[in-house]
Chains A and B, each alone.
Chain A
Amino acid sequence: MFKNYLKIAFRNFFRNKLNSFINLVGLSLGLAACILITMYVSHEKSYDKFHEDSNKIYTTVGEFKVGDEKIRMKRMSHVVAGQLKENDSNIDEVLRYYKHNQAMRVATILPKSQPISEDNIAAVDANFFTFFSFNLLYGNAESVLNQPFSIVLTKTVSEKYFGSQNPIGKQLSLNQDKAYTFTITGIMEDFPSNSSITSDFLISMKSLSAMEETKELMSTDYFQGGSFTTYLKLKDVKKANEVEATAMRLDRLTNEEADTTFVLEKFTETHDLNADNGRFNYLSVFPIVALLILILALTNYMSLTTARAGTRAKEVGVRKISGAGRKSIALQFYIESAIFVCISFVVGLLISILFKDLFLELLNINVDNSFYFNGLFIMVLTGVFLFAVVTSGIYPALVLSSLNPIKNFKNKLTKHTGSVSVRKVFTIFQFAIAVLLIICGIVMSAQLDFMRNKDTGLIRSNIIMIPVETSMMTNATAFRNEVDKLPEVEQTTLAMNQIYGGYSAYFVSKENSQESYTVSTFNVDEHFIKTLGVTWYLKPKERTAFSENSKVIINKKTIEGLGLKPDPRGEQMNFGNRSFEVAGVVNDFNYTSLENPIKPLAFFVSSETNANENILGVYNSYLYVKLADKVEIPSLLDKLEGTYKEFDETVSFSYQFMDDAFDTLYKAEERLSFVFYVFVVLALIIAGLGLLGLVTFMAEKRMKEIGIRKVLGASISEIVVLLSKDFIRLVLLAIAVATPLGWYLSDSWLSYFAFKINVPWWSFVIAGAIATLLSVLTLSIQGLRAATSNPINSLRSE
């Protein structure tokens, strides 16, 4: 019986080639998109779940409020882990993880190799490999990191330094300010792509107190925030509250007035919590879009299969007369759908493998190949598969099994009013989704365009930002002077921060007031404001507005935000416990993404000399180089790099153009809009294919009518119009349905931006036009074919 169904299914598949092709392509593409998104989303959701006790592992986080801003401390001081373990019996094990935030020069000692600058070095407690489930290839999990100056490398890093030989027992030199010799005690497998911990070098925690650069980290005795991610493994996950209470108690022991709340966050959720995906949760949007695409493809299948009901009706009749019950007919068509979905699924899987790398690159993530065998991924995929099987089969099975044998034979099934209206709904649905996606795509592009081109209150073009690290030390001033001398350079200026890359923040209060506000601050030199083209709202009365004189320059927003006088010049503000006098006010400009509103900002301005002395080379800072117009950029960059190398051997030269830095802020949105366009194209292809199939079928069914009309003198164009009219009406209806929905969705997306466009009216016009054009094209191709056929043939066949 089953074999018989299979046979029928395959023969039908090959008999209606166009129909099958349309179905197969549509469904495979839809499934491929679904598979890729499933992969992306389940990879995101699978972070850190591969550890044996992942559900028992927590990280300790401190939270406190300043003004109305919530500050989250993700790292603790070095004593927190130990004190918690000692004072709370619910804790099974603790682990500290410290990521070194400076680059170190790493080299092999025997033979001596050229040092390579490495910035992914971490120190961990000795129980790292028993606490977590990372695999050691060489070395004993219990003891690899017991001794000071022992180090574990990942496989890739080991190959980088030692090739294919086993490096256990060999030595590496790590050098930041001083060189230290580490002995390699273990090699571990590379970190899985869904691990939030990924360090190329793991050194033993005991090394930290023995190194000058990190000694200070181990000196505090306070239970407070610090530099160590503190992992706790609980005996009973229900006792997390108790541990939180213990943390609060320990905190209050040393600091009675502390108002920090300590919470345990599930380790498996930290990736989500720390993710920097923009403020909009794209992770929740993608599955919905994928589901829409899948449903689109499935409705195609349903609609085309039931449209073919007429041609299958005879078979159903014969089978019923041969003794088939409704159930077995339904089962047959269900099996047919299931087979079809299976084939499409395999094709979709192949397509997804083919496009995996490209897709992941677009999303800027990395997924191990082994993830194909991840439990969660396979589970969700099975779900998608079952969903596809169930939905694709249900409607054809119901419709086809209900056909009455006698009526089928007699009337040749010319009318199926019920399923015709369902198919109309399908068509409307498909085009509505397509139009909806187009609208969203257009709005995204428009918003992106708006953000890139908006006047943000400063001039971004022709400015290169060069990080100057402490490794340059006293050479830094000389470097700056050399750069200044280059003929292509108009001006250099210095800031502690990279613009669009963050800022410092102070808690600020007004004179004679306890209320504190958060104010972003930039430490800059005297040329900064002018070089970046920031304009004055209230110019300083004297030219000097340097922080040495305890003066500060604020932006306009600060006046409103803190409620200063309309002309606050001369007013005092307290930054922490130091008092500054407002010297001048600049107009507001965007110093972060346009997603965020402009907040109160203050400049601490130093004279060039002071900045060179106190900032440059002393702190990690940025040299902003303003170029003259029409400069040969490549040769200038070469010159800058050459100069840089003369003064810094440790850290290699890097730079970023300010306008690039600005554009980078919208990477997430850019990626999203690109992925969206892929979806739009997919949706259009699928909807177009569906329409093509339907109109082909309609033309076949109305062959006789067309023949008669032609004999009676209808022109080709009249026939095309006849065939297309109904469908065009459906498409127009779809546009009407999609427009308000598209407006609503894109408007709610836009609400995540502080600086945004209004949903442009023309996005609806364009989306509608694309859908209409596509359907007219599809319809006329098929309509023409039907209309130009010789009526004699069609009439004879009846």
Chain B
Amino acid sequence: MSILLSLNEATRSVNSGNNKVTLLNNINLQVKEGEFISLMGPSGSGKSTLLNCIGMLDNFNGGGYTFLGQPVHSMKEKKRSMLYKEYIGFVFQAYHLIDELTVFENIETPLLYKNVKSSERKALVADMLDRFNIVGKKDLFPEQLSGGQQQLVGIARALIGNPKLILADEPTGNLNSKQSTEIMELFSELNKEGVTIIQATHSEKNASYGSRIINLLDGEIVSE
């Protein structure tokens, strides 16, 4: 299988007062297309930072980052945002749906920024609603849904742009165990369909859905 992205000695540090704090230290990682990776580690070990950097919402300060053969570290902001718009979807622990938009509109939002035509948008969103069995909820607002349902919408939104890679930061952190299982099963299904997934999680059980587990501690990969 082809390589989706690779990190070479990637480092991320911030200045906190006079101290330089290293969040990620010399990370070497290759992700192949179709992998399902679980990042594990205690709070503060750098899981979220790693996800954000891979997702191009944040930048490494050192080392190299190649995505689909293109050097992200030397890319301009605009190009980078084009890249993640095209290939990456995000799922969050707190769902991060827009409260003022309905389910339908939330899912539709990424398409708006890709300038997809209205009729096409409708068709794509309808497919997605159908696939996740939430057609009946399309006109509801996030606050009218349960957490599990909100996360479904969150995933649907991440998938609507047909990304190669889904980055999920504690996707089940706010859910009960039944809802968690449903979401994790959805992820493995998506993975089987060919979507690459990287999730950050605390739960051994959730991690076991993945094909590969990476343990982080204090910003370094300690085991695989």
What residues of chain A have their CB less than 8 Å away from a CB belonging to chain B? 1, 4, 7-8, 11-12, 15, 314-315, 317-319, 321-325, 328, 405-406, 409
Contact = CB atoms under 8 A, between A and B. Distances in A.
Contacts of A1: 112, 115
12 contacts: A4-B101, A7-B101, A314-B96, A314-B98, A314-B99, A315-B100, A321-B90, A321-B96, A322-B157, A323-B81, A406-B57, A409-B96
Interface string B32-58: 000000000000000000001000011
Nearest to A11: B100
B81 A321 contact: no
Contact of B113 (A12, A15, A323, A406): A323
Interface in B80-114: 81, 84-85, 90, 92, 94, 96-101, 105, 108-110, 112-114
A12 B100 contact: yes
B105 A322 contact: no
Q: Which of B57, B100, B109 has the most CB of A within 10 A?
A: B100
A323 B52 contact: no
A324 B110 CA distance: 8
B96 A317 contact: yes
Contacts of A8: 98, 100-101
Contacts of A321: 57, 90, 96
Interface of B: 52, 57-58, 78, 81, 84-85, 90, 92, 94, 96-101, 105, 108-110, 112-115, 157, 161
Nearest to A12: B100
A406 B58 contact: yes
B96 A4 contact: no
Nearest to B85: A323
Contact of A324 (B52, B94, B113): B113
B110 A322 contact: yes
Contacts of B115: 1
Given A314-B99, A322-B113, 4 more contacts: A7-B105, A8-B98, A317-B96, A409-B96
A409 B96 CA distance: 8
B98 A319 contact: yes
A319 B98 CA distance: 9
Contacts of B92: 409
Nearest to B113: A323
B113 A319 contact: yes
Contacts of A7: 100-101, 105
A329 B114 CA distance: 14
A15 B81 contact: no
A7 B90 CA distance: 24
B44 to A, nearest CB: 12
A190 to B, nearest CB: 53
B94 A323 contact: no
Contacts of B90: 321
Nearest to A315: B98
A314 to B, nearest CB: 6
B192 to A, nearest CB: 25
A318 B109 contact: yes
B97 A318 contact: yes
Contacts of B81: 323, 325
A315 B95 CA distance: 12
B100 A15 contact: yes
A324 B84 CA distance: 11
A12 B57 CA distance: 27
B94 A409 contact: yes
A328 B113 contact: yes
Contacts of B94: 409
A7 B78 CA distance: 28
Contacts of B100: 7-8, 11-12, 15, 315
A531 B112 CA distance: 87
Nearest to B114: A323
Contacts of B52: 406
3 closest residue pairs by CB, A with B: A323-B85, A323-B113, A322-B110
Contacts of A318: 96-98, 109
B117 to A, nearest CB: 11
A725 B200 CA distance: 45
A290 B110 CA distance: 43
A765 B115 CA distance: 60
Nearest to B167: A321
A560 to B, nearest CB: 77
B25 to A, nearest CB: 19
B107 to A, nearest CB: 10
B153 to A, nearest CB: 12
B109 A322 contact: yes
Contacts of B161: 323
B57 A4 contact: no
A186 B64 CA distance: 92
A615 B202 CA distance: 111
Nearest to A324: B113
